[in-house]
Structure 1
C-alpha cells in the first residue's frame, strides 16, 4: 500500500452507520464476491441462508486498490432493504496475511492488507473482520499481532478483529493452535471489546482443542473457561478430512470425514443453549451440499 492510500484511509470519515444486530444465531456458507458485494445477498436468497462469509478483497496476491464506494454502498443499502444485520456476515481477510512473519517485507504488506480489509468491512456497515493469526519463530509474534490489532483500532472505528483458531497443533511456529495461544494475544490488545475469536470446528478437531469422544459437548465449555464467550464473534462449521489431532487444515462436507456429524450437532446446540448470536458458516468443499448443510444447521438450532 502506498502512503497516499494509507493516508486516505486514515482521513476517511464518511462511514455508514453500523447495520443493526440480529438477536439469534444465523447460518450460511462462504460465498464468492466475484459479481460484487451485492451478489452475496442474491446467493443468500438462493441458498435460504441467513448468514454469509466472504473475502473482503481478492484473496490471492498483494496488489490492492482503494475500494469502490458505490459498490460498498450498494451492499449496505441492500442489507437495509432486506433487514439484514451485521452479525449475519463474516468478512474474511486473505489467507496470505501474516502480521507476525519473520520477514519484514511480509509483515509490512500484511499490516497494510489488514488495514485495507478492515476499512472495507466497515464501509459495508459491518463490525467484524476474521483473520488467521500467522506464524513466527519466537514469542515476539504475539506482540506483533496485538500491535497490528491496536494499530487498526486506532484508524478504523468500531471494527472487531477476529482471530481464527488454527489446526497446526504440531507446529512450533504457528500461532492460534490452542485457546491459550489466542488468549495471549487478547491479553496484549488495548481495547479488548474490539478483539474476538472464530471457532472453526475442523481446525479445533484436527488441533485437538477438546477431547475427541466429547468434542461437541466440551468445545464451547473449554472456550468459555479459557477465554470467555463474550469473545466469540463467529463460527466456521466444517467437517474434517483428517483425523483428530492430525494438525492438518483439511475441510470436508459436514456429513463426511473424520469429525462425527453428531459432534457438530452437539456443538451447534451448545451455541443455542448459551444464547449466542453469531454467524455460523460452512467452508466445505462441495457446493452441491450447501443448501442441505444450511438447513441442517438451522434444524439443529431449532430442536
Structure 2
C-alpha cells in the first residue's frame, strides 16, 4: 500500500485535518507546527488530538510529518535569530509529544556567511539542547537544493550533523525529490546510484520520509522550485521508479507541489495508479 499524502493546513484543528486527508484519499499528511513564516503555535486541545489519533488508527495511517517554520534558522550569523530558532525547536518538540511516534522535519538552515563548518556546529548544538532521551518523535533533516549558504545540499553535510547528535536513535532524514535533483543528484537516470551513495554516506536506515516534488529547473541548478508531478524536469517515469523502489516504497510520501486541495487529490489518485 502506498503511504501518500500532502501538505494540509492545521488552522481548523487536528480532527479536521485528519478528515480532510481522508476526503482526498490520503493516509498520511504534513502540517506546519505554526505559521511557516514564524509566530506562535495554536493551542493544542487533547480531545482534538485524540480525535485525530482515532482517525489515524481506524484508517491505517502511516506516520505523519510536522514541518518546522521556514524562519527557524539554527545556524544564522545573528545570535538573536539562532535563539528564536532554538526556542521554536524546543517548543515544537515538546508539543510533538501530544502525537507520539511521528516525525518532525526541518530545513537545516543557512550559515549566512559563517561557513559550513561553523553552521554545522551550531545546528548540532541546538539539536543536542532541544532533543531529549525520552522523546517519542524522530527529528528529520531535510535534503536541500544547496542554494546560497544553505546547509544540507550534500549528503556529507547531513551526515556531519547526524554524527554530532547525541540522541542518534531519534534523528533521520527526509529526502526531497526536487531538492536532491536541483542539488545535482540524478534521481532521473541513476536512482539506484543516488540511493547507494545515500546509504554509504548516511545510511538508508536513517531515511524516514520522502517529499514528492517535481522540479521547475534542471539537474544541479541549486534553485529549489517545486513543480507538479510529471510536469517538470524529473518527469512521470522517474516518479514511478521512486514510489516503487524497494528502499522507498514503504515510507510516507508527502506532496509539496504547487497545488490547491483538488490538485492534491488528483495527484494522490495518479500516484496510487502508478503502484506496481
TM-score, length-scaled by structure 1: 0.83
Deviations 1:118-140 (A, max 9, x none): 22222123432000000112212
Which residue, out of 126, 129, 132, partners 1:154?
132
Find the counterpart in structure 2 of residue 94 from structure 1: 69
Please say if residues 146 and 183 of structure 2, whose CA atoms lie closer than 8 Å, have aligned partners that are also in contact. Answer: yes
Please say if residues 220 and 267 of structure 1, whose CA atoms lie closer than 8 Å, have aligned partners that are also in contact. Answer: no
For residue 175 of structure 1, give the secondary structure of its aligned residue in structure 2.
coil
Find the counterpart in structure 2 of residue 225 from structure 1: 200
Find the counterpart in structure 2 of residue 179 from structure 1: 155
Deviates more, 1:193-202 or 1:211-220: 211-220
Q: 1:148 to 1:277 in 2, by over 3 A?
A: farther
Find the counterpart in structure 2 of residue 123 from structure 1: 98
Find the counterpart in structure 2 of residue 143 from structure 1: 121
For residue 235 of structure 1, give the secondary structure of its aligned residue in structure 2.
strand
For residue 162 of structure 1, give the secondary structure of its aligned residue in structure 2.
strand
CA offset at residue 97 of structure 1? 0.4
Which residue, out of 15, 18, 38, partners 1:38?
15
Q: 1:250 to 1:73 in 2, by over 3 A?
A: same
For residue 161 of structure 1, give the secondary structure of its aligned residue in structure 2.
strand
Please say if residues 162 and 196 of structure 1, whose CA atoms lie closer than 8 Å, have aligned partners that are also in contact. Answer: yes
Matches within 5 A, 1:1-303: 25-64=2-41, 67-85=44-62, 87=63, 89-136=64-111, 137-138=114-115, 139-154=117-132, 157-169=135-147, 171=148, 173-208=149-184, 210-211=185-186, 214-270=189-245, 273-274=246-247, 277-287=250-260, 288-300=262-274, 302-303=275-276
Please say if residues 188 and 234 of structure 2, whose CA atoms lie closer than 8 Å, have aligned partners that are also in contact. Answer: no
Please say if residues 118 and 156 of structure 1, whose CA atoms lie closer than 8 Å, have aligned partners that are also in contact. Answer: no
Deviations 1:3-28 (A, max 9, x none): xxxxxxxxxxxxxxxxxxxxx65111
For residue 51 of structure 1, give the secondary structure of its aligned residue in structure 2.
coil
CA offset at residue 76 of structure 1? 2.7
Aligned pair count reads 272
CA offset at residue 292 of structure 1? 2.5
Q: 1:155 to 1:97 in 2, by over 3 A?
A: farther
Mark the runs of 5 or more structure 1 residues left unpaired by the alignment.
Answer: 1-23
Please say if residues 168 and 174 of structure 1, whose CA atoms lie closer than 8 Å, have aligned partners that are also in contact. Answer: yes
CA offset at residue 275 of structure 1? 6.5
For residue 157 of structure 1, give the secondary structure of its aligned residue in structure 2.
coil
Deviates more, 1:72-81 or 1:124-133: 72-81
Please say if residues 38 and 71 of structure 1, whose CA atoms lie closer than 8 Å, have aligned partners that are also in contact. Answer: yes
CA offset at residue 212 of structure 1? 6.4
Q: 1:226 to 1:62 in 2, by over 3 A?
A: same
Alignment partners' CA distance in 1, 2:151 and 2:140: 14
